[in-house]
Structure 1
Amino acid sequence: MTALSDCVVVVTPRSFGAHDNGLRQELETEVGEVRYWPGPLSAEELTPLVADADGLLAGLDEVAGAVFEQAPRLRVVARYGVGVDRVDLEAAKRHDVTVTVTPGANANAVAELTIAFLLALARPVTAGRDRVRAGQWPALQGVELEGRTLGLIGLGRIGSLVAGKARGLGLRVLAHDPLVEESELAELVPLGRLAAESDFLSLHAPLTGETRGIVGCSLLERLKPGAALINTARGELVDEAALVWALEEGPLRAVALDVLAEEPPPADHPLLSRDDVLITPHIGPHTMEATTAMGRIALDELLAVLSGRTPRFAL
């Protein structure tokens, strides 16, 4: 096993150490060489960069099977976040590479962005700003959140935080999560009822074979008329073509998205130019507090594996 002081580590998250330079200093002191390559990177871009690396501190990079096959020294992929849909876990297992995550580090940041979206969909904040900039002063109509229903698909760490914050705003909270049997924060209901009763539908599920495209035509057509959709989880949870249909011909009133199936989206993406769609560039986990916490946990996990110790959050 390569000594820690001789290890090569590749770091791709742009925000690693941005608000706590001590994280970079610690990593650079502990290992032999650190290479910073701002991502997210495709598998083709990543493969040559980790060919002689012992560790990868990864963001939203595509860590495919080919990456592991071409990196014989690689021992750990420390994910900067909790989603591992872009990591080939079977290939990691075959090549005896430990994959770790940073559970809970960005949960509150994403939950707070969800609440910000909820408020932006209730009141025309961005539209009001644009109209004032254009020299207008219209009385734009909105709705109040108190007494309305928020439906959550997914009631894990982030979904539970959203539920608690939403209840504080006076919302009734419903949730659908096959892995949760009971909750004091939300009433657990079938997916069809969730769609039919929610004024706002918010996604907080992981991306799996079962959840990919869960928001498609069959679900969207069951939405309550005038409902709004929020996605701060994974873009692939939503069938984007079906979303356009639901906005143009179906019951959907508005959408707020922090994630898309393709990031960044092509210039001609059909959702980009719509006034009833608010899109932000995957800013959910990017607060000073969350990025520092993710960096701390990811660094600890990476150094633990490279030192021969047991990490806390290995998959």
Structure 2
Amino acid sequence: MTASQHPLHSSRQRIVFLDRDSLVAKVRAPAFAHEWHEHAHTKGGAQTVERLRGASIAITNKVPLREAELAQLPELKMIAVAATGTDIIDLPACRARGIVIANIRDYARATVPEHTLALMLALRRQLVAYRLDVEAGRWQASERFCLFGHPIRDLAGSRLGLLGYGALGKSVAHLARAFGMQVAVHNRSPIEEDGVTELSLQELLATADVVSLHLPLTDKTRNIIGAKELASMKPTALLINTARGGLVDEAALAAALTNGVIAGAGFDVLSKEPPQADNPLLQLRLPNFILTPHTAWASGEAMQLLADMLIANVEAFARGAPVNVVA
């Protein structure tokens, strides 16, 4: 099929962005005939179906599209995911219906690794604990010019253990080496790169000073870090998660932090987002636990790049030559 014969060239296309407010960036108009409809956010389910009726292209960041919705949307031809992860999409149902799914890749090579290192630094340098001390007046009451009380550790000379070594894992490794860290990796497939130390999951957890997760969320990776894995880590170790919340058993982590099983954790993701009030990690009031609201990806530069790539994906599909297709 040539580009001129592609069905999207035959009529004006209806494009619906289900959660426009999830992207703080300028989204340019696609360079082909279309109707553009956007909604600040969409609850899902019946509202998703209502808004996508007649649409040939759906854009979603975090609004799920499952079998129940897809079955009611016979005109849908493409789902443009405004993110890298596609766990919100029923991939087999899309394949059965011939719906093309395209995601965004490699837009966050700076922002997520920088956030990851920021969490490491804040925890190793005890920034939260010492800020709380200053706010409580402990420094002001000190007999010395400085205030001790929380052990500070350097990143230099420590071991970073990476679970996952895709684009983001590699970028984190690059920054970590600049700080003088030794990098070890546990990856699903062999790594063809000189100088990379590959370890089993058990050895990585047992020897790393900082464990950082960079895995997709699948049936195999869900709760890959649970009570057993946490207990196998060094009591001085940190756990960093800027990937997916479901990778970690949150109740087990809350218990590990409360009981001193590990030294601290820095998270940017939770298993359900927005989180429910009863999430055990939301109950923690510990200076050695930092939780940010899924913002590691969200630098201004990264979001604008994402927006540009998003429309480029839509335009490529409209030309009959889709790119970044999720297999």
Following the alignment from structure 1 to structure 2, what is the Cα–Cα distance between the partners of residues 218 and 268?
A: 23
What is residue 8 of structure 1 aligned with on the other side? 14
For the 8 Å contact 1:220–1:250, the answer to whether it is kept is no
Uncovered stretches (5+) of structure 2, i.e. residues with no partner: 1-6, 140-146
Distance change in 2, residues 1:2/1:165 (3 Å): closer
Letter in 2 for 1:146: A
Q: Secondary structure at the match of 1:14?
A: helix
* Residues 28-70 of structure 1, C-alpha deviations (whole Å, 9 max, x = no match): x644322222347434442221122111121022111122111
* Residues 198-218 of structure 1, C-alpha deviations (whole Å, 9 max, x = no match): 111100011111111100122
Letter in 2 for 1:299: I
Q: Residues 69-218 of structure 1 correspond to what in structure 2 (within 5 A)? A: 69-137=71-139, 138-141=147-150, 142-184=152-194, 186-218=196-228
Structure 1 runs (4+) greater than 6 angstroms displaced: none
TM-score where L is the length of structure 1: 0.91
For the 8 Å contact 2:22–2:61, the answer to whether it is kept is no
Following the alignment from structure 2 to structure 1, what is the Cα–Cα distance between the partners of residues 274 and 194?
A: 38
Find 1:288's aligned residue among 277, 288, 300: 300
RMSD: 1.9
Letter in 1 for 2:118: A
Instruction: Give the greater-gyration-radius structure (CA).
Output: 2
For the 8 Å contact 1:4–1:30, the answer to whether it is kept is no
What is residue 38 of structure 1 aligned with on the other side? 40
**Percent of pairs identical after alignment?**
32
Q: Secondary structure at the match of 2:110?
A: helix
What is residue 232 of structure 2 aligned with on the other side? 222
* Residues 181-210 of structure 1, C-alpha deviations (whole Å, 9 max, x = no match): 333353110000000001111000111111
How many positions carry a matched residue from both structures? 309
Q: Residues 199-278 of structure 1 correspond to what in structure 2 (within 5 A)? A: 199-249=209-259, 251-272=261-282, 273-275=284-286, 276-278=288-290
For the 8 Å contact 1:10–1:50, the answer to whether it is kept is yes
* Residues 261-281 of structure 1, C-alpha deviations (whole Å, 9 max, x = no match): 011212232212331321101
For the 8 Å contact 1:124–1:140, the answer to whether it is kept is no
Q: Secondary structure at the match of 1:209?
A: coil
Q: Secondary structure at the match of 2:302?
A: helix
Uncovered stretches (5+) of structure 1, i.e. residues with no partner: none
Following the alignment from structure 1 to structure 2, what is the Cα–Cα distance between the partners of residues 242 and 117?
A: 20
Following the alignment from structure 2 to structure 1, what is the Cα–Cα distance between the partners of residues 247 and 10?
A: 39
For the 8 Å contact 2:112–2:297, the answer to whether it is kept is yes
For the 8 Å contact 1:200–1:230, the answer to whether it is kept is yes
Find 2:323's aligned residue among 268, 290, 312: 312
